[in-house]
């Protein structure tokens, strides 16, 4: 016999879930999770970065760091000042070296023009003017040095302001100017 179920028309069969619907539901859950999780994650990262910024600001604004920065700024100013002085000293060194070379050449040129029996007691060089105090046993060597200096290519305006006989020798002074001759003119 057959069982009769009077409620059968009211019983509904459970519907089978389709795979499309299941996939849509999974995608919806994943998207919802991402939408909720990503901002929360970013919020924590922003908070962590803000904490780092605050700690760095605290370090930067600490009195110890500020005093170190002031010391560094002072050292930088001193360094810039010293670099300026270094440039000045290098140019001065170059001028002094060229002046020394010029003075050495000038003395060499003067000595080439000095005859025997003439002795220098004093030699003053100021810029391009040379003053010599010397002695000679006779007047002729003094005249010879004047002649040699006048006819030299390196000197002009030769002048002997004084010659005096004293203690068995002639004392003289001679003044002349060096022409503008560079070290390249020397052979």
Contact residues for 156 (Cβ-Cβ < 8 A; gap 6+): 150, 176, 177, 179
Residue spans of the domains in the chain: they are 93-185
> CA-to-CA distance for 145 and 150, rounded, in angstroms?
9
Residue 134 contacts residue 119 (beta carbons within 8 Å)? yes
Q: Which CATH class is domain 93-185?
A: alpha beta
For the chain, 187 residues long, give each residue's pLDDT as a single digit of tens. 677 777 777 777 777 777 888 898 999 999 999 999 999 999 999 999 999 999 999 988 899 989 999 999 999 999 999 999 888 888 888 877 766 656 677 777 888 888 888 888 888 888 778 898 999 988 898 898 888 888 888 888 888 998 999 888 999 999 998 877 554 444 4
3-state secondary structure of 169: strand
What local confidence, expressed as pLDDT, does residue 182 receive?
Answer: 52
> CA-to-CA distance for 31 and 8, rounded, in angstroms?
41
Residue 176 contacts residue 130 (beta carbons within 8 Å)? yes
pLDDT tens track for 131-179: 989 999 888 988 988 888 888 888 888 889 989 998 889 999 999 988 7
Residue in 133, 143, 129 with CA at minimum distance from that of residue 172: 133
């Amino acid at each position: 016999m057959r069982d009769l179920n009077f409620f059968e028309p009211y019983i509904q069969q459970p519907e089978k879930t389709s795979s499309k619907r299941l996939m849509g539901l999974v995608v919806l859950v994943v998207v919802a999770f991402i939408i909720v999780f990503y901002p929360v994650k970013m919020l924590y990262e922003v908070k962590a970065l803000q904490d780092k910024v605050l700690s760095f600001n605290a370090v930067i604004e600490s009195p110890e760091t500020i005093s170190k920065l002031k010391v560094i700024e002072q050292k930088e100013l001193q360094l810039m000042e010293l670099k300026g002085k270094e440039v000045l000293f290098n140019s001065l060194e170059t001028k002094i070296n060229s002046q020394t070379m010029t003075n050495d050449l000038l003395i060499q040129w003067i000595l080439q023009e000095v005859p025997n029996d003439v002795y220098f007691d004093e030699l003053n060089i100021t810029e391009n003017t040379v003053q010599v105090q010397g002695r000679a046993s006779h007047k002729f060597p003094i005249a010879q040095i004047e002649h040699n200096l006048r006819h030299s290519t390196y000197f002009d305006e030769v002048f002997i302001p004084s010659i005096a006989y004293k203690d068995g020798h002639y004392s003289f002074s001679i003044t002349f100017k060096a022409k503008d001759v560079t070290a390249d003119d020397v052979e």
